[in-house]
Amino acid sequence: MKRIMSFVLLATLAVGTISCGQKNKVNSSQLSSGSTVFTSGITYGNANTSSALSSYLSSYSCQSGQRHASALFYLSSAYSTTSIGGTFTKGTLSGTQGTTYVGRSAYNDIMIVTKMLNSSGGVMGFNVELAYCVDTNNSYTPPAFVSRGISAFAAPYYITLTEPTSSAIGRLYASQTVAYVDPYQGSCTVGYQSYSNCNLPQFYLYTSFGQ
């Protein structure tokens, strides 16, 4: 419900620019051709990790539509290696990949967290990869979402990391994370009407991830 409320907020904010009397719909011509989180994201060098992630993703593909291109963020310091949070920085940390953790939302959005190690084997931080689903059949989907960047990410209620047991990857849980989706100017489709100049404001995407 939190996520749908953020979509409704976008539609409300866009009223001053375009008519929203009909249902919102993503313009399918603007969808990314990539179908997995790995298309534009992090390369996972460990073969067991990569295989486990691929298996996980194949079990939880987007319910409909396609994935937004991966958004990459990092946290360079943490008081704990099992619970991380706060505001993350755009980009990635360089170093040796340690344990990787994965979780999904109710919509099968994917979050992947990788523990990054320094040359001495100590934890230097965490990389986060996010791949949201864009549901072209959902009337609450923001117009032109796929064409917009995600400029910031925060986990105010922390991300809890669980170590692997029978798999090469661990699991994660994160409640009400916030992604800041960039403003958009350009063509879009609202309902069955196409517009050549949409002016859509930034909006906040609230998502909880579990196992």
In the chain, what are the domain boundaries? 2-209
Residues 102 and 124: their CA atoms lie apart, in Å, by: 19
Spell out the residues 6+ positions from residue 200 whose beta carbon is closer than 8 angstroms to its own. 10, 13, 14, 17, 142, 143, 144, 148, 183, 184, 185, 188
Checking if the pLDDT of 134 tops 80, the result is no
Checking if the pLDDT of 112 tops 80, the result is yes
Checking if the pLDDT of 14 tops 60, the result is no
**Highest averaged pLDDT of the listed ranges 54-58, 63-67, 81-85:** 81-85
Note the pTM of the prediction, 2 decimals: 0.77
Length of the chain: 211
Structure tokens at 126: 């965490």
Residues 93 and 77: their CA atoms lie apart, in Å, by: 11
Does 48 or 6 have the greater pLDDT score? 48
Band the pLDDT of 208: cuts 50, 70, 90: very high
Kindly report the average pLDDT of the chain as a whole number: 75
Instruction: State the average pLDDT over residues 25-40.
Output: 34
What is the predicted pLDDT for the residue at 200?
Answer: 78
Instruction: State the average pLDDT over residues 159-185.
Output: 91
What is the predicted pLDDT for the residue at 207?
Answer: 92
Query: Angle CA(41)–CA(175)–CA(27) in degrees, nearest 5?
Result: 50
Are 36 and 101 contacting, i.e. CB atoms less than 8 angstroms apart? no
Residue 36's SS3 state is coil
Instruction: State the average pLDDT over residues 177-194.
Output: 80
Does 211 or 126 have the greater pLDDT score? 126
Q: What is the residue whose two structure tokens read 């517009």?
A: 195
Instruction: State the average pLDDT over residues 95-99.
Output: 92
What is the predicted pLDDT for the residue at 94?
Answer: 92
Q: What are phi and psi of 172, to 5 degrees?
A: -135, 160
**Highest averaged pLDDT of the listed ranges 20-29, 33-42, 75-84:** 75-84
